[in-house]
Amino acid sequence: MRNLKIIMAYRGTAYHGYQKQDNAVTIQETVEKCISRVLDTPTEIYGCSRTDTGVHANGYCFSVKTEKQIPIRNIIRGTNGYLPSDITLLSCEEVSEDFHARYSCRGKEYVYLIHNSECRDPFAEDLKYHYRRKMDLDLMRRAAEYFVGRHDFSSFCSNASEKASTVRTVHELRLDREGDLVKVTISGDGFLYNMVRIIVGTLLWVNEGKIAPEDIPVIMERSDRKLAGKTAQAHGLYLNRVFY
């Protein structure tokens, strides 16, 4: 039995997230149909994580097991030949039998793209969040420092469960600007549901003067989602890299 580690990129606009659903088109369903045609047998893939409706990926990892001895190059080319233009396989390699895209994952990196201009970007309407206000990146960077480290992020996630730990470690949270594009990069050992989007929304609240950078530790201590910022729109978010 071969175990394959595959990296793909996708534009999530037309899909209801990664995970299969009964009444919606998803990334997983679409990829499984295409790779099953290449392998000539019904095939299930195992993704590194869920992504929401409209969220994109630059480097999403999934694993798949097969007894077929098709060359790796042919698996990539064949599957890409069947896939729609908004999904593509980037690489494929054989890995140990115990590798699993989700359970072997040691961390992830996300980026959130903001088009910071009075005018919309008609060529990236579903690829960047359009934000008109002037952005004080120095102020937002002061707030970002409080997120780095190991914390309870229950104030910065949706649907927190009392049974599951909401403690995560953020390794880096960086804001960079190039022209009208502001890129928020965040990496960590794992992320809660909507955590990245809520952190971005909270940084925007800091920019708008609704909260101060020094309020972030207090919001963490309160474990109250209502105190943190809005959930930033999905179409600015990208799963950028997965670490193993």
- Cβ partners under 8 Å of residue 215, min gap 6: none
Give the position of tokens 């590194």. 48
- Residue 188 forms beta bridges with which residues? 108, 170
User: Which sequence positions are flagged as catalytic?
Assistant: 52
- 202: Cβ contacts below 8 Å, ≥ 6 apart: 143, 156, 211, 216, 219, 228, 229
Among positive and negative, which fits the CA dihedral 133, 139, 141, 146? Answer: negative
**Structure tokens that stand for 115 in this block:** 């088009």
Q: Roughly how many angstroms between the first and final C-alpha of the chain, as a whole number? A: 21
HSE (CB half, 13 Å, CA atoms) of 1?
8
- DSSP β-ladder status, 237-243 and 56-66: parallel
The answer to whether the CB of 235 falls within 8 A of the CB of 54 is yes
- Report which of 229, 226, 195, 184 is spatially closest to residue 210, judged by C-alpha positions: 229
DSSP E strands: which ranges in 46-121?
46-47, 56-66, 87-95, 107-116
